[in-house]
Chains A and B, each alone.
Chain A
């Protein structure tokens, strides 16, 4: 019987995207509501991607 293979998580861009989204959301509070909106959108997309990876990983 063959040994099971070592499982390591695959590389992912979603942590970077989520961090950028969260930061942009807060940065927009000081600068422009449009940045906050873009940041929120980016964070939501990143969170979706993150969850999708977890479910299929």
Chain B
């Protein structure tokens, strides 16, 4: 490695000690570790919940737990594992690894990165506050309406569930914005998109899935909270509300969520199997393309979770077909991993054992998943243990095996020490045996008709013994986790020190020391393939392709820096600045959120038998204050152009005009609300008012945030005449403003103009 090209004189991790280091850190590696430790704690909690359920189910008619406690436990177990363990654990790995793998110094927005982590922690604490305060959510992890409505869930458990998850979801969306911007903007020179490691590709696709899916859940949870706290009627059957709307919104989020939890695992496996097979990944471009195909198709399959609702034959046929089609790109990946191993020089390290275990277990889970695409089979097995078996083969045998493989593979990089392989193999075999003992019999019990989510069961032939085997398997898995914990403890204390590249791997994170310094790299090796370390390692068994004739290797290069608002350090050709890319990503998530609210409005606005109705709106009056908002798009554009010409006066003038026009719109909206309330048209009156006030109110809240931000910016430029904001920042704010305007065009057309028809 070349000498340090640009010396770093800031504080090192070792110089920042104790709690202060961890609560103030902006280093992506330390934030990644915080994610991993926090999610491990939640994993223990979720695991204890599972063990308690298995104790209750060990024998027929047991009385370890009552029905209420059992309901709370399966709700908390599912919610914890999905939202507080699997998804954030994968994001924790992405946080640690993605900047290293692309040759960057940090994430694009380090402060936002820290905010995301703290929102995860605090959201989790809110969720568990309700649980520990005796007000646990007990409606299942997908909390179907109308069970979650006030008359049926009178405590605050559902509220804690919704608010806890809204908080964590905001953090997850912020992480997605950050990951996407980091990969697009901060790649080292030579790291083209096609040379990105597969884990980075899958993290990038996952970020897009998060932005397109999670806001739909947030919107549904907002509606649920409004139903429970403000008296709206979105899912209130008695007032004509639509509980099936909850199912649509939940599963529109829920099925992409499966791939949010699986695609990064695919990425991990695609890194690990080639290294321990000493072969490049078979069909690498096809693996990337199949990841994209999965992401696209995942938005077209949600209603296969709803076949028993009775949506009709056409709907069932469509969603059945798309659900079968999505198995094709998934199968391509399985064949790619098998072909990579075929003829390779396999090294069965613990990481590789878990990776191979992943391929086998995930394939079983995938095959049982295809069964659910066949509508009559789905009808027969819905809400039985067959579903529980399927999802655990995908998420535990699949994703969690990949996480364990990744733990053994990247632990040396993170900790600077190798995990003990002997203990690792004990861990693997105990997990493998315990997992299959626990979950394979569930297939049989499900086909026998044993319903899930029921706290006990009758002593029917075969049910008791199979359940007992499952409980024994669950405790074997718990024992395997104790082996892992012991291995982590011992290896951290006296494990074999790890070199920079203990596995002879090829991706960039192995080019720096283990653990990496605060600044990640001294210099980046030349990158001209997807396996850049083969250029620098003579021991690599499979060489890089030769350079084209006449081309010379590029020299080591500095790596791009992170930092909010940081322009690219080394990609002069970049057309967009990081704040702009970040804002475009954020707008994508906002579009999903407003899309869900608009769908709810279209579903419910005219469903109430009596008034008020859309025709009660004063359209001409609203048109007048809408003009103010539309005009503000032009004024903020003018402000940006003036800033580009260094025309300070003109910039302030047009920025001020935008603030005034935005405020005028808000005043108009306030006066409209005042008139409606004076006429007794309040948010809880009927379905129309529920949907109308929620939709327009959230839009108004967005305009308010924009006006405050612009007014703050104007205040700063007036108080410090010599200071001007960066163009990229103003461009990003302008984009947000244009988006808010565009949303109003849609709302004005759908809510107001449509009422004239």
**Residues on A close to B: CB < 8 A?**
3-16, 18-20, 22-23, 26-27, 29-30, 50-51, 53-55, 57
Contact = CB atoms under 8 A, between A and B. Distances in A.
Interface residues of B, number: 50
Nearest to A26: B163
A45 to B, nearest CB: 14
B115 A6 contact: no
A8 B171 CA distance: 22
A53 B109 CA distance: 13
The residue among A9, A16, A53 with the most chain B CB atoms within 10 A of its own CB is A9
Q: Which 3 A-B pairs have the closest CB atoms?
A: A19-B118, A15-B114, A11-B24
B462 interface: no
A13 B10 CA distance: 17
Contacts of A10: 10, 26
28 contacts: A5-B8, A6-B8, A6-B105, A7-B563, A8-B10, A8-B26, A8-B518, A8-B519, A9-B26, A11-B20, A11-B21, A11-B26, A12-B111, A13-B23, A16-B24, A18-B115, A19-B122, A19-B171, A22-B170, A23-B119, A23-B125, A26-B126, A26-B167, A27-B129, A30-B163, A54-B564, A54-B565, A55-B723
B111 A9 contact: yes
The residue among A8, A10, A12, A50 with the most chain B CB atoms within 10 A of its own CB is A8
A19 B114 CA distance: 9
Nearest to B521: A6
Contacts of A20: 118, 122
A5 B561 contact: no
A7 B185 CA distance: 17
A16 B114 contact: yes
Contacts of A29: 163, 229
Interface string B537-577: 00000000000000000000000011111000000000000
Contacts of A54: 111, 564-565
Contact of B23 (A16, A22, A27, A30): A16
The residue among B110, B122, B163, B167 with the most chain A CB atoms within 10 A of its own CB is B122
Given A22-B167, A30-B159, A8 B8 contact: yes
B16 interface: yes
Interface of B: 5-11, 16, 20-21, 23-27, 105-106, 110-115, 118-119, 121-123, 125-126, 129, 156, 159-160, 163, 166-167, 170-171, 229, 518-519, 561-565, 712, 716, 723
A53 B565 CA distance: 12
Contacts of A16: 23-24, 114, 118
Contacts of B25: 11
B118 A3 contact: no
A50 B26 CA distance: 13
A3 B11 CA distance: 19
Nearest to B126: A27
A29 B564 CA distance: 31
Nearest to A47: B712
Contacts of B723: 55
Given A23-B123, A54-B564, A5 B163 contact: no
Contact of B5 (A3, A27, A50, A51): A3
Contacts of A53: 111
B585 to A, nearest CB: 19
B7 A9 contact: no
B24 A9 contact: no
A12 B114 contact: yes
A30 B160 contact: yes
A13 B24 contact: yes
Contacts of A50: 111
A5 B6 contact: yes
A37 to B, nearest CB: 17
B115 A30 contact: no
B64 to A, nearest CB: 31
A42 to B, nearest CB: 12
A5 B170 contact: no
Contacts of B24: 11-13, 16
B111 A14 contact: yes
B163 A19 contact: no
Given A5-B7, A8-B518, A15-B115, A23 B167 contact: yes
Contacts of A27: 126, 129, 163
A39 to B, nearest CB: 11
Contacts of B716: 55
B727 to A, nearest CB: 15
Given A8-B518, A20-B118, A30 B561 contact: no
A53 to B, nearest CB: 8
Nearest to B26: A9
Contacts of B111: 9, 12, 14-15, 50, 53-54
